[in-house]
A and B are shown apart, each in its own frame.
Chain A
Amino acid sequence: MLEVRGIRAAYGPVVALHDVSITVPDGAIVTILGANGAGKSTTLRTVTGLLKPLAGSVILDGVDIAGKSPDWIVRQRVAHVPEGRQIFATLTVSENLALGAYSRSDERGIAADLKRVFDYFPRLFERRRQIAGTLSGGEQQMLAIGRALMLRPRMLCLDEPSLGLAPLVVRDIFRIIQTINKDDGVGVLLVEQDAKIALSIASYGYVLETGRVVVSEPAEKLVANPTVRRSYLGY
């Protein structure tokens, strides 16, 4: 279980998050919605240690991880699929996946997880020797998610997995995210601009506006919420 409590964070003098609190229960998919610049990615960055919060805490299964270094947080098996995927473009697909398991040393477990990733994404198996930069956008997103799974995460943070992808590919990817969540009971914190598809798999949602949580409700209520409908669902 992940609890973000009263996080305040800033880039230099610009405060990006004021008192943001978010809870991801074990095995749940929770989504953060909001416009560009609302602080969605910043929230993820404070969870995974890329940005140190000025105040507040991030509790992972009872341990405060706020302000710890990213490599320490990765070793607690919190995986982060960053915005824009950030794959290693000139390395092969296999090398990218190996890097996902960089902080682990249980060779047997890594081999098993590699097999699982290839089961989820057969396309990656076909292209395992290919240079990652030559993959299509959808395949690169699959690689970024597969790479995160190589950590055997207990918490999976996804930043805009639909970004720049065709609707059909987006549907595929969200179906797989849902499967992964069901199979392993891994908690998913999903940041997404496409509110419709995010709410279709999430159980709970938060809406951020200029660094503040303005609405937090179960997904089925959010879908019916008039403000959310107008601003984020477009009907």
Chain B
Amino acid sequence: MEVFFSQLANGLSTGALYALLALALVFIFRSTDIVNFAQGEMATFGTYLGWSLSRPLSLSWIPLLGIDRHINVISWNPQIFGASLSLGTPNEGVTRMGYIVVFIVTVAISFAIGAFIERFIIRPSEGKNLLNAVIVTLGLFILFNSLSLYRYGPTPQVYPSPVKAATAVDFGIFKMSQQALFSFCVGVVLMLLVYWFFQRTKLGLGMRAAALNPRASELMGINTGRMLTLGWALAAAIGCVAGMMVAPQVAGISPSLMLTILLYAFAAAVLGGLDSALGAVIGGLAVGIGQAMVVQYVGSQWSDLIAFGLIIAVLMVKPTGLFGSPVLEKV
């Protein structure tokens, strides 16, 4: 039984990450009807920024300089409130305080990148033909993938974690790694924050309204364009958090970090219904648990097949997903 419960716990933990990325996809789909294929690559790029920032000050901080020029120019040890942010040499990583600072700064930069993309890349291509926008997001996928590859190379880099990533925590009936537990907690807290933001704040209500009925929202005095920008920014920030949680659990950060994770997040979003935030969360957890069980009891080679079998089956039987609203033809 311990194996079963441990797999369940691990499934919930990865599921929470799928749910985060699925939420990001849902936010963008709900407000702009665009499926953002670049979501995962944007997250990877954001995570790389975090990796850069978590290293002692060096030329690597200068964007797009290339990994081979990652030479330490100054052995600078940044401090906040007297606490050191960096452990000195590049391989030692950051302190806990440093991790938190890097986390916040990285999320903020990702937020800004998301806003920039909506405002200057997506908006000009919008409203003409949905296919245009889809191809633009595919273009962004390639852009960010190449950017990560060019800037940081194909070799995985160790991403820091504030916990002893590989050490297991024993809960009696199940065990999970500290990193899995940490990322599950971060995922849950972030989802609760998102829920609070959309359900309890005026800005969140405005964003929901703008996604629902842009024309009526304008009559309420809501600047719908700004809401779309904010939606993309939020999605990018959430995706980036998922990336920073994934990286310490796999071999390290590489340009393909989020590739399969994005596919599972798609499976989760489609399962839950592409326009339902609740569906994204439940879909994400279900896909995570399902994957963990398949890996344990069927064989890991089957997990991709089952995930994508699931997408196809859901699209055939219930095209709107479990929680999606029926498709209304726009006249």
Is B164 an interface residue when CB atoms closer than 8 A count as contact?
no
Closest B residue to A75 by CB, please name it.
B221
Cross-chain contact B218 with A50 (CB below 8 angstroms): yes
A102 with B216, Cβ < 8 A, contacts A88-B209, A91-B208, A95-B205 known: no
Rounded to whole angstroms, the CA-CA distance of A91 and B208 in the bound complex is: 9
Decide yes or no whether A138 CB sits under 8 A from chain B.
no
> Which of B202, B206, B212, B216: most chain A Cβ within 10 A?
B216
Docked complex Cα distance between A50 and B221 (Å): 11
Which residues of A in the span 63-80 have a Cβ within 8 Å of any Cβ on B? 69-71, 74-75, 79-80
Chain B 190-227 interface 0/1 with A at a Cβ cutoff of 8 Å (1 = within): 00000000000010011011001101111111110000
A151 / chain B contacts, CB cutoff of 8 Å: 221
Among B215, B222, B325, which residue has its beta carbon within 8 angstroms of that of A86? B215
Contact present for A74 and B212 (CB under 8 Å): no
Q: A74-B221, A90-B325 are in contact. Are A99 and B215 (CB under 8 A)?
A: no
Q: Given that A82-B215, A91-B208, A102-B202 are contacting pairs, would A74 and B325 also be in contact in the complex, using a CB cutoff of 8 Å?
A: no
Hey, which chain A residues are within 8 Å of B220, CB to CB?
A: 74, 99-100, 102-103, 147
CB neighbours of A228 from chain B (8 A)? none
A147 to B209, CA, bound (A): 13
CB closest residue in chain A, given B212: A88
Give bound CA distance, A147 to B220, whole Å.
9
Does chain B have a CB within 8 A of A48?
Answer: yes
Q: Is the CB of B205 within 8 A of A74?
A: no
Complex partner residue of B209 from A50, A70, A74, A99, CB under 8 angstroms: A99
Residues of B within 8 A of A98 (CB): 202, 205
Q: Contacting A102 at CB < 8 Å: which of B212, B213, B221, B325?
A: B221
Q: Are A99 and B205 in contact (CB under 8 A)?
A: yes
B209 / chain A contacts, CB cutoff of 8 Å: 88, 91, 99, 102
Q: How far is the CA of A100 from the CA of B222 in the complex (A)?
A: 10
| Of A75, A88, A90, A103, the contact of B216 (CB 8 Å cutoff) | A88
Which residues does chain B contribute within 8 Å of A48, judged by CB atoms? 219
Q: Is the CB of A82 within 8 A of B219?
A: yes
Q: Are B212 and A86 in contact (CB under 8 A)?
A: no
* Closest Cβ–Cβ distance, residue B175 to chain A (whole Å): 42
Residues of A close to B208: CB separation below 8 A: 88, 91
- Residues on B with beta carbons closer than 8 Å to the beta carbon of A86: 213, 215-216, 219
Contact with A71, one of B202, B212, B216, B221 (Cβ below 8 angstroms): B221
Known A-B contacts A86-B216, A91-B212; A71 and B205 likewise in contact (beta carbons under 8 Å):
no
A87 within 8 A of B: yes
> Which residue in chain B gives the minimum CB-CB distance to A70?
B218
Q: Given that A90-B212, A90-B325, A91-B212 are contacting pairs, would A74 and B219 also be in contact in the complex, using a CB cutoff of 8 Å? A: yes
**A87 adjacent to B216 (CB under 8 Å):** yes
Question: Taking CB as reference atom, which chain B residue is nearest A48?
Answer: B219
Question: A102 and B206: CB pair below 8 A?
Answer: yes
Q: Which of B202, B205, B206, B221 contacts A70, CB < 8 Å?
A: B221
Contact B222 A71 (CB under 8 A): yes
Residue of B nearest to A147 (CB): B220
A88 to B207, CA, bound (A): 12
**CB nearest neighbor in B for A102:** B220
Q: Which residues of B contact A103 (CB under 8 A)?
A: 220-221
Instruction: Say whether A71 contacts B206, CB under 8 Å.
Output: no
B-facing mask of A89-120, CB < 8 A → 1, else 0? 11100010011101100000000000000000
Min Cβ gap A102→B in Å is: 5
Shortest B174–chain A CB gap in Å is 39
* Chain B contacts for A87, CB-based, 8 A: 216
Measured between beta carbons, the chain B residues less than 8 angstroms from A99 are: 205-206, 209, 217, 220, 222
CB contacts (< 8 Å) of A89 on chain B: these are 212-213
Cα A69 to Cα B202 in complex, Å, equals 21
CA distance A88 to B215 in the complex (A): 10
Interface string of B96-113 (1 = CB under 8 A from A): 000000000000000000
Q: How many Å lie between the Cα of A87 and that of B223 in the bound state?
A: 17
Q: Which of chain A's residues 146-185 have a Cβ closer than 8 Å to chain B? A: 147, 151
B 221-254 to A, binary, CB cutoff 8 A, 1 in contact else 0: 1110000000000000000000000000000000
* Chain A nearest CB, measured from B329 CB (Å): 15
Residue of B nearest to A50 (CB): B218
Identity of the chain B residue whose Cβ is nearest the Cβ of A71 in the assembled complex: B221
Contacts of A82 in B (CB 8 A): 215-216, 219
For the complex formed, measure the closest distance between the CB of A48 and the CB atoms of chain B, giving whole angstroms: 7
**What are 16 A-B contacts with C-beta separation under 8 Å?**
A50-B215, A50-B219, A69-B223, A71-B222, A74-B219, A74-B221, A80-B219, A82-B216, A82-B219, A89-B212, A89-B213, A91-B205, A98-B205, A99-B206, A99-B222, A102-B220
Given A99-B209, A99-B220, A102-B206, 11 other A-B contacts at CB below 8 A? A48-B219, A50-B219, A69-B223, A70-B221, A71-B222, A74-B220, A86-B213, A90-B212, A91-B205, A95-B205, A147-B220
